[in-house]
Structure 1
Amino acid sequence: MSIEIKAPSFPESVADGTIATWHKQPGEACTRDELIVDIETDKVVMEVVAPADGSLEEIVMPEGSTVLSNQLIARFSAGAAGTAATAPAAAPEEAQASVADHSDVSGPAVRKLLHENNLNASQITGTGKDGRLLKEDVLNHLKAAVVATPVPATAPTQSVDASTGSLHRTSRRVPMTRMRSTIAKRLVSAQN
């Protein structure tokens, strides 16, 4: 049975959202309430989960697309095809649950911290409900790693350009998120 996955209803102050990340690709098996896609608005990142056991059929709106409230974003195939594909993998999945793979149950802030610091969720013990990994758990793990890392005796020196007296710095342009863009617009309007 084919199910249309639509963008959630946005609050009245939010006109649209942007598809931030697809966590599943077409043909991949999903279980009920498993995270499929993140939709970023001016104020919040909303998570859209699988409505039933099955597989993702088609992605209608790719990453970076702007979507409106209740707009079709994907098609989902519920039923035997998805459950048959996930049934053989059930035993290894239970073994992984004891290792505490928190990728499906952790919030966006936790996933972002793990990604930015190149950490594996299975290395950190979650203290939240049902062993859920919290942001504080990741921060405590990072603090413990900093304390355990010895500080070098001499700090590396930065090269200074003799003619201008400035430090050589590299810069990198990163696209702003919708939330940062909204903050920037409001700061500029407040200055005027």
Structure 2
Amino acid sequence: MATDIKAPQFPESVADGTVATWHKQEGEAVKRDELLVDIETDKVVLEVVAPADGVVSKILAGEGDTVESQQVLGHFEEGASGGAAPSGEKADSAPAEEEKEEPAEAPAKASESASDDDSASDQAGPAARKLMTEHGVAAEQVTGTGKGGRITKADVEKTISAKEEKRASQPAPQQPATVDVPATPGEREERRVPMTRLRKRIAERLVSAQQNSAMLTTFNEVNMKPIMDMRK
């Protein structure tokens, strides 16, 4: 049974909220009362949980989208299992049967590629094979310098170091949302990330209080000598 995933009822004086984090993705199985998504408002972070066991079939509001109270965030398929196609989106039975018949030749091709890999790995010693397995290096990527083209452990280590040097030389992908500030020796590393909606509103309130509140100090001087003489 299909069910709508709705945003919760927002508190008073809160008009809308922002989808902060989706903890489940489309097609992922969830259990009853398991956390699905966080909605962040100016005052509080609200959690939306699964109404029953099932699958998140469709996500309509992505992370960062502004939503209103009781707005539909996605669809939930109650009682379905993970990886199952949601109702209304099932493919026809005929194409499904064709897809099942097509991979018939796949095992043969897989066996051929496996035999090629085995023949290549036979040229490597036990230590070299273990090192290639740990670092995910194929035998075709290593040039054997041993007797008869046999791959030695040193050949594998040389290939691994060359891959690491190549990876280190490539520039890191740009991430505009997160900026790393290089830290000087002896100081903590700083990272700049966009403020959440709640933190942004707190910062606005602090700046407003500092700019609009009267901040002053008053000094009053009084001659207490007549009072002291009276006491004497």
TM-score norm. by structure 2 comes to 0.44
Q: CA deviation at 1:170?
A: 5.8
Aligned partner of 1:70 in structure 2 is 70
Change (3 A) 1:170 1:52: closer
Aligned partner of 1:47 in structure 2 is 47
Q: Distance in 2 between matches of 1:28 and 1:35?
A: 12
User: What does 1:4-15 align with in structure 2 at a 5 Å threshold?
Assistant: 4-15=4-15
Report which of the two has the higher share of helix: 2
Q: Determine if contact 2:28/2:83 at 8 Å carries over to the other structure.
A: no
Q: Distance in 1 between matches of 2:190 and 2:29?
A: 40
SS for the counterpart of 2:57 is strand
User: What does 1:166-185 align with in structure 2 at a 5 Å threshold?
Assistant: 171-185=190-204
User: What does 1:1-192 align with in structure 2 at a 5 Å threshold?
Assistant: 1-79=1-79, 81-82=80-81, 171-192=190-211
Q: Distance in 2 between matches of 1:6 and 1:169?
A: 42
2:81 counterpart letter in structure 1: G
- Greater mean alpha carbon deviation, residues 167-176 or residues 16-25: 167-176
Q: Determine if contact 2:28/2:82 at 8 Å carries over to the other structure.
A: no
Q: How many residues are paired up?
A: 112
Q: Distance in 1 between matches of 2:23 and 2:16?
A: 20
Q: Determine if contact 1:53/1:83 at 8 Å carries over to the other structure.
A: no
SS for the counterpart of 1:64 is coil
2:76 counterpart letter in structure 1: F
| Bigger CA radius of gyration | 2
TM-score norm. by structure 1 comes to 0.53
Change (3 A) 1:191 1:61: same
Fraction of identical pairs, as percent = 64
Extract unaligned runs of 5+ from structure 1: 86-157, 160-166
- CA deviation string 1:90-149 (max 9, x = no partner): xxxxxxxxxxxxxxxxxxxxxxxxxxxxxxxxxxxxxxxxxxxxxxxxxxxxxxxxxxxx
- Runs of 4+ in structure 1 displaced over 4 angstroms? 167-171
SS for the counterpart of 2:74 is strand
Q: Determine if contact 1:19/1:39 at 8 Å carries over to the other structure.
A: yes
Change (3 A) 1:170 1:3: same
2:210 counterpart letter in structure 1: Q
CA-based RMSD: 2.4
Greater RCO, CA 8 A, separation 6+:
1
Q: Determine if contact 2:27/2:83 at 8 Å carries over to the other structure.
A: no
Q: CA deviation at 1:66?
A: 1.0
- CA deviation string 1:18-48 (max 9, x = no partner): 1111111111111111111111111211110
Q: Distance in 1 between matches of 2:47 and 2:188?
A: 37
Q: Determine if contact 1:21/1:63 at 8 Å carries over to the other structure.
A: yes
Change (3 A) 1:8 1:59: same
